[in-house]
Amino acid sequence: MILEFSTYPIGSGESLSEAVADVVDIVEQSGLPHQTHAMGTVVEGEWDELMDLVKQCHFALRKKHARVATRIAIDDRAGAKNRLTGKLDSIEKRLGRKIRR
């Protein structure tokens, strides 16, 4: 399944880049296929490994900050694999051209 998430402190200053850098560092260490975009990170895997990863990221921030907001979106489709790029490949196939990804 594919999981997209973002996690950041509320009330600890406007800049979130330090927090997001911490999160990306943890995601990279997980070894799971992932991609970071301007509003969050998309990761592919099974429920437990994905949720363990989000939990680790959430609490890495909560150790440093008194309030943390975490958002998660899951798309779980039977038999779907390599969806991180596969979903976009399907779009390009339909459109008959490359898209900005």
Q: Verify binding: residue 34, a copy of itself, rule CB under 8 A.
A: yes
> What's the CA gap between 18 and 47, in Å, rounded?
27
Residue 46 CB, nearest distance to a copy of itself (Å)? 11
The only residue of 21, 29, 31, 46 in contact with a copy of itself, by rule CB under 8 A: 21
Spatial distance between the Cα atoms of 9 and 25, rounded to a whole number of angstroms: 16
Residues in the chain: 101
Among the listed residues 29, 46, 64, 101, the single contact to a copy of itself using CB under 8 A: 101
Contact between 46 and a copy of itself (CB under 8 A)?
no
Q: Which helix (H) or strand (E) is 40 found in, with range? A: strand 40-44
Q: Do 71 and 6 meet the contact criterion of CB atoms below 8 Å apart? A: yes
What is the spatial distance between Cα 64 and Cα 79, in angstroms, rounded to a whole number? Answer: 39
Binding site for a copy of itself (CB under 8 A): 2, 4, 6, 8, 10-18, 20-21, 24-25, 28, 34-40, 42, 47, 51, 55, 58-59, 62, 66-78, 83-85, 87-88, 90-91, 94-95, 99-101
